A and B are shown apart, each in its own frame.
Chain A
Amino acid sequence: MAVIDRDAIKADLIRILTELREDWEFSGEVTEKTGIFGDLEFESIDAVALGSAIEDHYNQQLPFAEFLTKAGERQAKDIYVGDLVNFLHENVGKR
């Protein structure tokens, strides 16, 4: 699988998150600065579901647990869409 362009990944992720929108309260624009817990009001279970949706989209298992660990280690207050895009850019297409 070829490594995918960062902009394409960003577009994919924003589309996945935007598809949820009509079902819930958040109505702002999803950008790289959007926090999944703070802005999107995700519960932890939603973050897990996001991981499975992304894996399904790219048909690839991704090291989400490692990603979450690193976010925890640097005591991140939230996980931002931009962080996720970077993570995916590093890992999608890599086996």
Chain B
Amino acid sequence: MSKRAVIFGLDGATFTVLDHLIQHGALPTFQRVFGGGTRGILESSIPPLTPPAWTSLVTGRTPANHGIFNFLQYESKDSSFVRMVTSRAIRTETLWSMVNRHGVRACALNFVVHNPAPKIDGCCIPGWVPWRWVKTQSHPKGIIDTLRRTIPGFDVKEMAMNFSEEEKAISGTFHEDYEQWIDLHIRREKQWFSAWKHCLEHEPAGLYAIVFDGVDKLQHLCWPFLDPAYAPRQRDEKYERVRERCWDYFRLVDDFLRQTLEIVGPETHVFIASDHGFTGTHEILYINNWLEKQGYLTWAEGTPIEEDESHELGAVRPIQRRGFNFVHTRAYASFASCNGVFIPIRGERGREGVAPEDYRRVRDQLADDLLHKCAHPETREPLVTRVWTREQAFPGAEGNANAPDLTLELRDKGNVSVLRASTWYKPRQQIMGCHHPDGIFGAIGPGIRAGTQAERLRLIDIAPTVLYALGLPIPSDLEGRVATGVFSQEYRDANPVRSGEPTQPVNARDAGTGGEGDSGGEEDPQVLMRLKALGYIE
């Protein structure tokens, strides 16, 4: 029988939550996989952000090579235009294409940056797509109609990411609506699972992969209900009710895993992976206000102070470049989700900015100031724990020009806010969930050592490990390596790792080149206002 492998993806899953639920007997299938197979930490990308992270997992390459840094990014080094990343922006070969080259079909469901779906041999229903477009942006043509015909109750509108609901969720009204929020995600996951089950049973393939992203959504809003460290001493009825509903969500995912294992059988390698982990954030650093205080930034006249509740959630709405007065600005942050600070260079994204010869000096000084002067107003404890330069965070290719000049890690792992506020620092009124670099890995199947703790793996190790499990050669230019330690010596002796041809170049199409003649442009206030809603989707 030919080999099969499954990637069971959980966006944002962390052992902090899973182990707590396992201890309470709520996740019997995860317990069985981790006990009967292997488990370990899966290190995320820098920064631990969904689009670059999943793209690293499915390409085996780091962001400087695959080209995905964020949901929204500048069109190019010279462009001040921002676009939402799509599948065209991935510059390197995906796992699906790598296995296709060896005659192995692949099914990939709900992966980010996969729209429009690549024309792989197999099927692909992309994630993070508004419902109207799911059908025409899936592959092959007709797959959604097939699902509608064969699955009772299949509903694309319920399955797709609901961008307006998400907007409501960050509008500050959710506080009383936890259960509605959780139920929304329970319904969504059931739809995805029905599509997944259909593929497992009716679409012949060697590689099946899915992402359940409700884990991330729930944890962002419901973290105090999930991390036992934040459980109140006095647990009232409301707390119990919300926590129970959160657990229902995880029980459901556990059952999806149980059914998946049942369908694919013990001869299939099943890999559980997250794109990043999770933790709690308790404070907000208004990075642009701090830059202003330090003399790096001047707001443009009329940039409003935004005191809406959404920034309580570490809102990742992009602020427009026109919010800054570039005549007097040497550093600014426009995309909160990536915790990145940009240094405008004269002539690159407009006429104003730091002179090219001063760039290094300004950047070094700013990095130093961030580490030493950005401190809690009372305790003086540093708020910024790490600063990576562009070359440190995204080493390797020329392709990192689109990335921020500096990338920050905050002491609580939270996201900076890029909004203009009336203060540069404040404690959150409520603990929120945020991304942590340590995600999860689990594996079970032929030759997987039972009950072992795997060494720390990186996202880029997953692609080669999956290829190995499928008995395929590993392209020589993958940056990760096979997690040989999770396989028994006997299995490794019988199945030596084979190195193969490098990955195939992706149709050189766009690869970060901007539109023509756009270097003087600025984002549009109106349309980008409408696009604001996109920023929060992390």
Contacts and interface: CB of A to CB of B under 8 A. Distances in A.
Given A43-B130, A43-B164, A72-B524, A48 B136 contact: no
A66 B534 CA distance: 18
B115 interface: yes
Given A43-B163, A45-B533, A48-B534, A71 B515 contact: no
Interface stretch (A2-10, A27-35, A53-61): A53-61
A19 to B, nearest CB: 5
B515 A66 contact: yes
Contact of B527 (A20, A55, A71): A71
B251 interface: no
A80 interface: no
Q: Could you say which interface size class chain A belongs to?
A: 20 to 34
Interface in A30-85: 42-49, 51-53, 55-56, 59-66, 68-73, 75
B159 to A, nearest CB: 12
Interface stretch (B81-89, B221-229, B472-480): B81-89
Interface in B481-512: 507, 509-510
B136 A63 contact: no
B75 interface: yes
Contact of B524 (A23, A55, A71): A71
B133 A44 contact: no
B530 interface: yes
Contacts of A51: 83
B509 A59 contact: yes
Contact of B521 (A45, A49, A66, A71): A66
B129 interface: yes
B301 interface: no
Given A45-B534, A52-B86, A65 B75 contact: yes
A61 B524 contact: no
Contacts of B521: 65-66, 69
A44 B166 CA distance: 14
Given A44-B533, A49-B129, A49-B132, A72 B525 contact: yes
B513 A44 contact: no
Interface centre among A44, A45, A66, A73, by most B CB within 10 Å?
A45
B277 interface: no
A91 to B, nearest CB: 8
B516 A46 contact: no
A59 B527 CA distance: 24
A5 to B, nearest CB: 21
Contacts of A73: 524
Given A43-B163, A44-B527, A45-B130, A65 B83 contact: yes
Nearest to B512: A61
B531 A44 contact: yes
B522 interface: yes
B195 interface: no
B136 A65 contact: no
B156 interface: yes
B515 A62 contact: yes
A53 B116 contact: yes
A65 B523 contact: yes
Contact of B82 (A44, A56, A65, A72): A65
B135 interface: yes
B526 interface: yes
A69 B86 CA distance: 20
A49 B115 contact: yes
A63 B81 CA distance: 9
A50 B145 CA distance: 20
Contact of B509 (A23, A45, A46, A60): A60
A16 interface: yes
B240 interface: no
Given A45-B163, A48-B84, A60-B509, A65 B135 contact: no
Contacts of A56: 88, 116
Contact of A69 (B87, B514, B522): B522
Closest 7 CB pairs of A and B: A63-B515, A72-B524, A65-B81, A44-B530, A61-B510, A69-B524, A52-B86
Interface of B: 75, 79, 81-84, 86-88, 115-116, 129-133, 135-137, 156, 163-164, 507, 509-510, 513-518, 521-528, 530-534
Given A65-B79, A68-B528, A71-B527, 19 more contacts: A20-B136, A42-B132, A44-B527, A45-B130, A46-B132, A49-B115, A49-B129, A51-B83, A53-B116, A56-B88, A61-B513, A63-B515, A65-B81, A65-B518, A66-B515, A69-B523, A70-B524, A72-B525, A73-B524
Interface of A: 16, 19-20, 23-24, 42-49, 51-53, 55-56, 59-66, 68-73, 75, 94
28 contacts: A16-B136, A23-B135, A23-B156, A42-B132, A44-B530, A45-B130, A45-B533, A48-B83, A51-B83, A52-B84, A52-B137, A59-B507, A61-B513, A61-B515, A62-B515, A63-B514, A63-B515, A64-B515, A65-B82, A65-B518, A65-B521, A66-B81, A66-B517, A66-B521, A69-B81, A69-B522, A69-B527, A72-B526
